[in-house]
Amino acid sequence: MHIPDGFINATTSLGAGLVSVGGLGFSLRRAKEFLEERRAPLAGLLAAFIFALQMLNFPVAAGTSGHFMGGLLAAVLVGPWVAVLVMAVVLAMQALLFADGGLTALGLNIMNLALIAPLVGWVVFLGVRKVLPSGRNGVVLASGVAAGVSVLAAAGGFVLQYALGGTGSAAVGTVAGAMAAVHLVIGVGEGVITALAIGAVMAVRPDLVYGASGVAWAPAPQAAMGEGL
């Protein structure tokens, strides 16, 4: 869902750019509080892993593909604020080196994929975790559900941008409906991949899963408390 230049007008792109700069600055400050030195390579690995997975488009309908986004995976693994930075690194590399996602659209893309997806997904994750039994399965299941919702939220971000400054003549309502329909399917894929990835990390190093910590907004303790069952 990388927006190219030209879909959204300059004013809205600039506005999204300002939102992104503010969001990145805030995340940078919050991330500093708990990103320990030994976790820096993990954050780098996460960015590289998400970059690789984003290349793997899978078919979702006749003549349509989708790919893994990764925002919620990042939030559950390293916390929402580091996740924002991880996603921004991936998007910047894609736009600058791979010509994927327009340069003037970088703010739009950061807003949808690096801010909305991990942060909305994180809130959903916390909510779903509350109603599920604690322990490994609860964390895995909540991750999957929240990842699916995060894709729809990012699609919603685009619809908002289109409503404010879309250059197309199609009505906002029909664009919203089409975006929701296709990203519902992509969201299912996102949920499955996220759940598998979180499950794999929980199996070998549950202490590295920030979202499995007992205290939602604090750093994960050395021994994860979500490792029950």
Partner 1 sequence: MKVGLRVFVLAGMAVSLLLALLISPLASGAPDGLEKVAEEKGFLANAADHSFSDGPLAGYSVRGVGSESFSTGLSGVMGVLLTFGVGYGLFMLVRSKSPG
43 touching partner 1, by CB under 8 A: yes
- Which residue in 109, 65, 66, 67 sits closest to 90, CA to CA? 109
Using CB under 8 A as the binding rule, the residues of this chain from 204 to 223 that contact partner 1 are 204-205, 208
11 touching partner 1, by CB under 8 A: no
Identify the sign of the CA torsion 115, 7, 55, 185: positive
1 touching partner 1, by CB under 8 A: yes
Identify the sign of the CA torsion 215, 217, 200, 35: negative
41 touching partner 1, by CB under 8 A: yes
- The amino acid at residue 203 is A
Q: Which is nearer to partner 1, 131 or 169 (CB)?
A: 169
Using CB under 8 A as the binding rule, the residues of this chain from 66 to 85 that contact partner 1 are 66-67, 82, 85
d(CA 122, CA 167): 31
Contacting residue, 10, 18, 21, 45, with partner 1 by CB under 8 A? 45
167 touching partner 1, by CB under 8 A: yes
Q: Which is nearer to partner 1, 75 or 179 (CB)?
A: 179
Residues in the interface with partner 1 (CB under 8 A) total: 75
d(CA 132, CA 129): 5
Segment contacting partner 1 by CB under 8 A, of 18-26, 55-63, 122-130, 135-143: 55-63
Using CB under 8 A as the binding rule, the residues of this chain from 168 to 197 that contact partner 1 are 168-170, 174-175, 178-179, 182-183, 186
Main-chain phi, psi angles of 34, to 5 degrees: -135, 0
d(CA 110, CA 117): 10
d(CA 16, CA 22): 10
Using CB under 8 A as the binding rule, the residues of this chain from 116 to 135 that contact partner 1 are none
